[in-house]
Structure 1
Amino acid sequence: MSEFSFENIKSQVERDKLEFTTRLNKVFSDIQNQLLAVPAALLLVGSQMEKADPIGWSLKNVVIWLGAVVFAVLMELLIRNQRNTLQAVKNEMDLQKIIFKDHHRAIYHKFQDVYVELGQRFRHQRNLLWFIRCLVGAALGFTTSMLAVYSVEVSVCYAVLIGAGLGVVPVVLALFNVYQCYRKRRQD
């Protein structure tokens, strides 16, 4: 009991909170420079694709579209990596919470809000990654619709539908991955 000091525990919890908050924020800030490429890619596609005369597949348009596909794949890999990093930080936070709760059961309720705030911060960062994933999917969809409009005789409406359908693919793959992780956790 002589080693017990409420102030020491409070100080340690606050340091842990700051450390975890910083690490959660760093997950998103690590990819901010790469995120600037999303609008740049849209500008590039919008300004570089052109209608072929006669209507047909232009090598230039296809190369631009393939570049957008590669960009989307690389961004998806980057987002998955950041999501895994975010989950690792969350797992550490949960472990810290369990350890704290086990060692300081009598006063845990006084610090419970800290862990609630950290959980909210985690969800916020996870939602930001989902938003970025949707932006990348939309960029790929836009590029595909531009390719369709400039390469085949298709109306803008159909091209937008094609682009939207393709833009949803990364989101569907991500949801499938989340479902697989959920099933795995339930089995464990």
Structure 2
Amino acid sequence: MKINWNKQSIFLLGLLTIVLGLLFYFGNQSVIEAAKQSYESSNRILNDQQMLLNDVNEIEGSEDTLLEELESLNAVIPSHADPSQWMESIKNAADSSQLTIESLNSIEDSIESEATEANGMIVTIPYQLTVRYENLNQLSVFIDAIYQLTQKTDITAISYEQEEGKEASLMLTTYTQSSNLE
């Protein structure tokens, strides 16, 4: 088959090329670019959702950590004013240190308690503890045990006799919450 290339054939071929080029360009713009933009938009949405999901997982992990820390804080500074558990811990510390508790008295310290309550949610409770010991090592072990108690306990003053088999007097301060931290 032999093609005659006359003006009309060349014109039709040029016109067909232009039409096909325009169809390709506008088809690309309307169909392919729209699909490409839709794909990119979907990809951005998926990435944003993944970031939100990661943030939610971090928040849940943070919430668990905060709840554990709150439970720990409630153990260190209890929310109730019942000192029986703390007194039992003091007795156990004295027993393990081979000391004898002579007396444990709550001291009314209204100025400090009122100031502490006014400042926040923590109430201090001062105690005077008198113990009898055989040697100073027992007293030292007992003091270390007091600082190891779960409930926060400070020793504000100590007076003791350096001779063996004598008494020591300790001023202790414990803390409670005026309202539960929940």
Q: TM-score range by the shorter chain?
A: under 0.3
Which one has a larger percent strand, Structure 1 or Structure 2?
2
Q: Looking at both structures, which has the greater relative contact order when contacts are Cα pairs under 8 Å and sequence separation is at least 6? A: 1
Which one has a larger percent helix, Structure 1 or Structure 2?
1
So what's the TM-score if we normalise by structure 2? 0.28
Highest CA radius of gyration, 1 or 2? 2
So what's the TM-score if we normalise by structure 1? 0.27
